[in-house]
């Protein structure tokens, strides 16, 4: 009998620690919630830059085939899985999960269309995935510990930041396949990364510099001296420095300049994801 009471009390304590109801919205904390945020941001940013940029008129259709397959497998479906794993009963949790699933299905349909050599249909579906992926971020913003507008700004900045880094790395590799591709796309992606990194640093600052309970749940070290925001700013600043170096490397006339830029983009992706994961540990309420 006493054992049953102890188990029920432990379960209630865990539930209270993981779920907080504020203004009728069920909020989710934990690793799954942070991963869902970061993965959804990455897909939304990468899709926006890919489908709404002039890239369609600059490179081969096979670029979009490979991009859609990899982005869907690496970000869209994992984002849905993380969202469904971290979601609990509530309208917000259901909307996030449903929209994340819609994004994954649209990404799969896009990839399928290109694999079946239907590029125009694939492009249309890809463009449709952009507002749906942004809608995921809009709904996620309602779960943040800060106001909805501030939270939405933070997620939008993170999406642009991660999307630019991911697309820059993908483009760098594509130059090995498409020898006739000019440097305009990767140059544009690098400039976008520089601008979005500045916006990301501003967004990190809006999250504050004090410790938060959600950071402690994921890693107690993040609240020691409120390390999370400083780690995020440091990694974002490192990304900015790398982007500037890439910009300088692309001024070289040799083909090896793009290869050097791609090597630096590897580092940019690592620092960008580190920055975003660190700051997203503070996004959800404790």
What pLDDT, on a 0 to 100 scale, did the predictor assign at position 1?
Answer: 44
What pLDDT, on a 0 to 100 scale, did the predictor assign at position 28?
Answer: 44
What pLDDT, on a 0 to 100 scale, did the predictor assign at position 22?
Answer: 32
What pLDDT, on a 0 to 100 scale, did the predictor assign at position 167?
Answer: 93
Which two structure tokens, joined as six digits, stand for 164?
A: 């630019």
CA distance 152 to 138: 6
What pLDDT, on a 0 to 100 scale, did the predictor assign at position 61?
Answer: 92
CA distance 13 to 114: 49
CA distance 6 to 273: 40
What pLDDT, on a 0 to 100 scale, did the predictor assign at position 15?
Answer: 36
CA distance 254 to 158: 33
Is pTM beyond 0.85? Reply is no
The closest of 149, 191, 181, 209 to 63, measured between CA atoms, is 181
Evaluate the CA torsion angle 101, 107, 111, 117 in order and state its sign.
Answer: positive
The closest of 156, 74, 64 to 112, measured between CA atoms, is 64
* CA neighbours closer than 13 Å in the CB half-sphere of residue 146: 17
* 10-residue stretch averages of pLDDT, the chain, 286 residues long: 46 39 41 88 96 93 95 95 71 78 96 96 96 94 86 95 94 86 91 96 87 56 67 94 92 80 91 92 77
The closest of 81, 75, 80, 71 to 99, measured between CA atoms, is 80
The pair phi, psi for residue 39, each rounded to 5°, is -65, -40
Q: Where are the domains of the chain?
A: 23-280
Q: Does domain 23-280 have CATH number 1.20.1630?
A: yes
């Amino acid at each position: 009998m006493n054992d049953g009471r102890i188990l029920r009390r432990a379960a209630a304590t865990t539930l209270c620690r993981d779920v907080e109801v504020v203004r009728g919205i069920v909020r989710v904390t934990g690793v799954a919630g942070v991963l869902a945020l970061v993965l959804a941001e990455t897909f939304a940013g990468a899709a926006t830059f890919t489908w709404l940029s002039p890239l369609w008129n600059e490179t081969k259709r096979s670029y979009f085939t490979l991009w859609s397959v990899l982005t869907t497998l690496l970000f869209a479906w994992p984002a849905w899985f993380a969202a469904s794993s971290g979601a609990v009963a509530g309208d917000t949790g259901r909307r996030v999960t449903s929209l994340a699933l819609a994004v994954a299905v649209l990404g799969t349909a896009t990839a399928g269309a290109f694999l079946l050599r239907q590029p125009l249909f694939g492009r249309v579906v890809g463009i449709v995935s952009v507002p749906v992926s942004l809608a995921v971020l809009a709904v996620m913003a309602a779960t943040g510990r800060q106001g909805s507008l501030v939270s939405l700004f933070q997620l939008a900045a993170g999406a642009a930041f991660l999307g630019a880094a991911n697309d820059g790395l993908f483009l760098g590799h594509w130059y090995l396949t498409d020898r006739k591709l000019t440097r305009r796309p990767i140059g544009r992606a690098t400039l976008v990364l520089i601008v979005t990194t500045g916006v990301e640093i501003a967004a990190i600052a809006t999250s504050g510099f004090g410790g938060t309970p959600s950071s402690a749940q994921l890693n107690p070290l993040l609240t020691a001296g409120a390390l999370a925001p400083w780690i995020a700013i440091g990694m974002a600043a490192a990304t900015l420095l790398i982007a500037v170096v890439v910009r300088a490397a692309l001024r070289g006339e040799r083909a090896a300049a793009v290869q050097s830029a791609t090597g630096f983009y590897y580092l940019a992706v690592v620092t960008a994801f580190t920055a975003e994961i660190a700051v997203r540990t503070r996004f959800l309420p404790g």
